[in-house]
């Protein structure tokens, strides 16, 4: 089973995770920029983070045979913090980098006017840079959040079929599907979407334009959830081709819209800017 996790925050994960993901079939990931679990205090904090998503993290992934790309943006939560919003002015110089395959995560957290502005501005930036957009939908008030998100997308210069709407569930999938966007599902332990609910959604709505991710980060999450969904699909009677479509071809098609997806791994470099993941003596 070949797996592309289209939304995972590897910066927060260990080399053990990379090893286990590779063993489970993961060969490609996309890491969207997001918040740190605590507020950043200046725009410069974003730039170091963006640079690590463009440099160090792809290097770490390459050591385990996994292709790593990223999506960059001012995240929805920090769009509300005036200390962080100047990032929007610097974002264009990052969006031209080869490894950036979308603008994201953008979208709503608390649905404030500041979030409206950041979302609309970054959808415009995506259109200008001919990049797709990866849009997070709020965890509270999901249907209202989805509707408002789709309204802003429709008013933007970015075509809806270049937008991935993530964190969908049973209450939002039909309306998202009707819109023509790509459909993202984050599968978490204990809460929200789990693998059996994901299989039921696939049985009802089909695999077309569906992407499944672990959204694993520093919180309670599981980087092997993609594989667990693949196994649950097979157990429920889906064909291997359906699994390949959801776990590989759909993410390749969506992020391929950037024209920048490079999935053939070369022999990994021994170091990145003089540093490696090894410890002395290895």
Interface residue list for Zn ion (CB under 5 A): 34, 215
Residue 100 in tokens: 């950036």
Instruction: Please identify, using beta-carbon distances, which residue of 126 and 243 lies nearer to Zn ion.
Output: 126
Task: Indicate the residue among 121 and 137 with the shorter CB distance to Zn ion.
Answer: 137
Describe the strand order of the beta sheet including 133-136 as a list of residue ranges: 3-5, 26-32, 67-72, 100-107, 133-136, 163-166, 182-186, 210-213
Least Å from the CB of residue 217 to Zn ion: 6
Q: Which is nearer to Zn ion, 70 or 153 (CB)?
A: 70
For Zn ion, the closer of residues 3 and 30 by Cβ is 30
Least distance (Å) from Zn ion to the CB of residue 24? Answer: 20
Q: Which two tokens stand for residue 189?
A: 């332990």
Q: 33 or 63, CB closer to Zn ion?
A: 33
Task: Render 90-146 in DSSP notation, one character per residue.
Answer: HHHHHHTSTTEEEEEEEE-SS--HHHHHHHHHHHHHHHHTT--EEEE--SSSHHHHH
Report the nearest approach of Zn ion to the CB of residue 8 (Å).
Answer: 8
Q: Which residues is 213 bridged to in the sheet?
A: 186
CB of 242 vs Zn ion, minimal distance in Å: 25
Say how far apart CA 9 and CA 34 lie, in whole Å: 8
Least gap, CB of 221 to Zn ion (angstroms)? 9
Decide: 207 and 242 in contact? Cβ < 8 Å.
yes
Cβ of residue 215: shortest distance to Zn ion, in angstroms? Answer: 5
- Residue 83 CB neighbour total at 10 angstroms: 13
- Give CA–CA dist 18/58, Å, rounded: 11
What is the nearest approach in angstroms of Zn ion to the Cβ of residue 163? 16
Whichever of 32 and 58 has its CB closer to Zn ion, that residue is 32
Q: Which residue in 258, 249, 165, 147 sits closest to 207, CA to CA?
A: 249
Give the count of beta carbons closer than 10 Å to the beta carbon of residue 205: 17
DSSP letter assigned to residue 62: H
Q: Which is nearer to Zn ion, 6 or 58 (CB)?
A: 6
Residues 6+ apart with CB under 8 A from 277: 15, 60, 63
Tell me whether residue 136 or residue 228 sits nearer to Zn ion (CB atom).
136
CB of 31 to Zn ion, least distance (A): 9
Burial level of 66, CB count in 10 A (0-12/13-18/19+)?
Answer: buried
């Amino acid at each position: 089973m070949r797996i592309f996790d289209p939304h995972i925050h590897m910066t927060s994960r260990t080399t053990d995770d990379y090893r286990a993901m590779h063993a489970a079939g993961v060969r490609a990931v996309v890491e969207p920029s997001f918040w740190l679990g605590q507020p950043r205090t200046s725009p410069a904090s974003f730039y170091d983070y963006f640079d690590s998503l463009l440099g160090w993290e792809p290097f770490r992934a390459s050591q385990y045979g996994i292709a790593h790309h990223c999506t960059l943006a001012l995240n929805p939560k920090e769009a509300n913090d005036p200390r962080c919003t100047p990032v929007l002015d610097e974002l264009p110089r990052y969006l031209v980098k080869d490894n950036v395959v979308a603008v994201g995560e953008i979208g709503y957290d608390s649905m404030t006017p500041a979030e409206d502005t950041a979302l609309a501005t970054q959808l415009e930036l995506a259109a200008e840079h001919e990049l797709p957009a990866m849009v997070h939908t709020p965890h509270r008030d999901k249907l209202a959040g989805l509707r408002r998100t789709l309204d802003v997308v429709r008013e933007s210069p970015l075509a809806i079929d270049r937008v991935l709407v993530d964190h969908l569930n049973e209450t939002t999938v039909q309306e998202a599907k009707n819109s023509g966007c790509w459909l993202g599902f984050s599968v978490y332990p204990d809460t929200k979407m789990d693998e059996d609910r994901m299989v039921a959604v696939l049985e009802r709505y089909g695999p077309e334009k569906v992407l499944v991710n672990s959204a694993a980060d520093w919180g309670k999450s599981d980087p092997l959830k993609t594989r667990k969904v693949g196994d649950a699909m097979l157990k429920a009677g889906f064909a291997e081709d359906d699994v390949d479509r959801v776990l590989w071809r759909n993410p390749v098609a969506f992020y391929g819209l950037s024209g920048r997806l490079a999935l053939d791994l070369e022999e990994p470099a021994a170091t990145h800017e003089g540093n490696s993941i090894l410890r002395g003596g290895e």
